[in-house]
Amino acid sequence: MGFLDLFRRSAREKRQRPILVKRGYDAASTDRLNFSWTAGNTSADDDLLRALDRLRARSRDLAYNNEYAKKYLQMVVTHIVGPNGFNLQALANDFGVPDEMARKLIEQAFDAWSRRGVCEIGGQFAFQELQRQVIRAVARDGEAMVLKLRGKESGNAYGFALRLIEIDRLPVTCNMLAKNGNRIVMGVEIDAIGKPVAYHINFGDLHLGAASTTLTRVQASEVLHIFHPERAEQHRGAPWMHAIMAGLKMLSGYEEAAVVASRVGASKMGFFTTPDGDPAALAGGKDDQGEFYSESDPGAFGVLPAGYDFKSFDPDYPQANYESFIKSRLRSIASGLGVAYNTLANDLEGVNFSSIRSGVLEERDNWIVLQNWFIEAFMRPVFMDWIASALLKSAITYGSGSSLPPSKREKFSEHTWQGRRWQWVDPLKDLNSSILAIEHGLASPQSVAATLGVDVYDVLDQLKQFQDMVASKGVQLGAQNQPPAPPAAELAAP
């Protein structure tokens, strides 16, 4: 067999040999396009330890100075807490039968506790405003901290109050092994399974470093540490704007540069040129740096000496793509925040009812998700501690003077919270569809009331009060107040 035959045989075998394909993730490959994309696999706490203080400082700076960040925080407060806060619905039952009197007494007592000067030890906030302060702090700083005060320390008849403190009092730099064998991670003391058992809080001057400040160990049962975890085994929270903060800051710088360039472009400036390079003949004076300049008056035309020329400076800015670029960046930022672009940017140009409804529906589902999280993280724990303390203090009483018994704490603790809901521009269609759903057995009045953000029991009580008031005044309403309809024969007459 000659060399040519061997070559042909080798080529034929290579063609018949199966091709091996290596499976893998393109995002994990390293090539010339993504060689600079480096990332490490570290825990959530490790990531936050390196970045949390700076993230919080930059988030606060945006909240103070950036209009879109400020708008987002307003949206968080408005859509999660709303104008009236969360509505308590007591659900005390006796073997499945609603205990209407107990429910009313609990709700009335909680409403009295929720007033300013009672629920919050500093006397600054009513409970509705405290809810707004907490959710704003969580969105801006990534977390909020509320202390529980009991007994005489609470300063009220219910034996329970709250104290909102700055999250900076929980130092990120406090990381060590406790004497009892627990670990302290960024001020949070955790046990062997990672459950928080205590918090090491700085009650002194916040301007002092952790090394020169005495930290107080507070049991976890006396602290509400509110944050929205993104990963398992995470013990501190990150600002909600962290994914878009860099882009938002860049956009702010771009807008600032565009404004400056627009002012320069509107000034219509220029330069004089001379054959010998001496500008003194046309100069009106010198500026602070000693440079020659000349001023002109509107509508005035001068004559240049022989040999002198004028070169206009007319920058072409803002360019035509400025608006489209801003919109594109804000759409990206709105996606990172989980909100609708039209709401964040206050841009309703080119929006129709169907398109805005589609976007708003998804956004509102996101707000409801956050409402449910906030209920479990803050509202429910507060109520459970309040009802336990109020029952022990005999602070919820009947008209006869007797109080709800602490022995039935489990019964009286049953409750739910109703978050705010939203109306549409054309609510008639939604109400009609709800009525049809009730009539055809596809929904209950209770569920429809919940979608409207109201308690159906409160609605029935108010209707009964209104009917009694109308009856006591002898007033006729509705069809009874209208003149009688003419007979059908009269309507048919020419």
Query: Which pLDDT score is estimated for 78?
Result: 96
CB 133 within 8 A of CB 145: no
pLDDT in tens, 377-403: 999 999 999 999 999 999 999 988 899
The answer to whether 279 and 239 have CB atoms below 8 angstroms apart is no
Per-residue pLDDT tens digits for 192-227: 999 999 999 999 887 755 455 789 999 999 999 999
Which pLDDT score is estimated for 492?
47
User: Residue 444 is encoded by which pair of tokens?
Assistant: 């209950």
pLDDT at 493 over 50: no
Q: With 70 as the cut, is the pLDDT of residue 144 above it?
A: yes
How far is 22 from 19, CA to CA, in rounded Å?
10
Q: Starting at the edge strand that comes first in sequence, how are the strands of the sheet with 160-165 ordered? A: 160-165, 144-150, 223-226
Closest CA to 421 of 445, 453, 446, 449: 453
- Give me the mean pLDDT over the 65-77 stretch: 96
In tens, the pLDDT along 414-430 reads 999 999 988 775 667 67
Task: Please give the Cα distance from 430 to 360 (Å, whole number).
Answer: 15
**Tokens found for residue 93:** 């039952």
Strand 183-185 versus strand 188-190 pairing type: antiparallel
At 24 the pLDDT is 74
Rounded Cα distance, 3 and 5, in Å: 5
Mean pLDDT of 44-67: 96
pLDDT band at residue 491 under the 50/70/90 scheme: very low
Average pLDDT, the chain: 84
Q: CA gyration radius for the chain? A: 34
Per DSSP, what are the bridge partners of residue 188?
Answer: 185, 199
Question: What pLDDT does 389 receive?
Answer: 97
pLDDT at 96: 87
State what percent of residues in the chain have pLDDT above 90: 53
Neighbours of 398 (CB within 10 A): 11
pLDDT at residue 269 in the model: 62
Express each pLDDT in 258-299 by its tens digit.
Answer: 887 777 766 656 666 666 666 555 555 555 565 555 565 555
What is the pLDDT, as a whole number, of residue 494? 43
In this prediction, residues 364-381 reach a mean pLDDT of: 96
Structure tokens at 281: 């003949």
Residue 452 has pLDDT above 70, yes or no: no
Pairing mode of beta strands 97-98, 215-219: unpaired
Adjacent-strand bridge partners of 286:
292
**φ, ψ for residue 415, nearest 5 deg:** -165, 175
Mark 93-115 as b/e (b = at least 16 C-beta within 10 Å).
eeeeeebeebbebbbebbeebbe
Angle CA(445)–CA(451)–CA(456) in degrees, nearest 5?
40
pLDDT at 362 over 80: yes
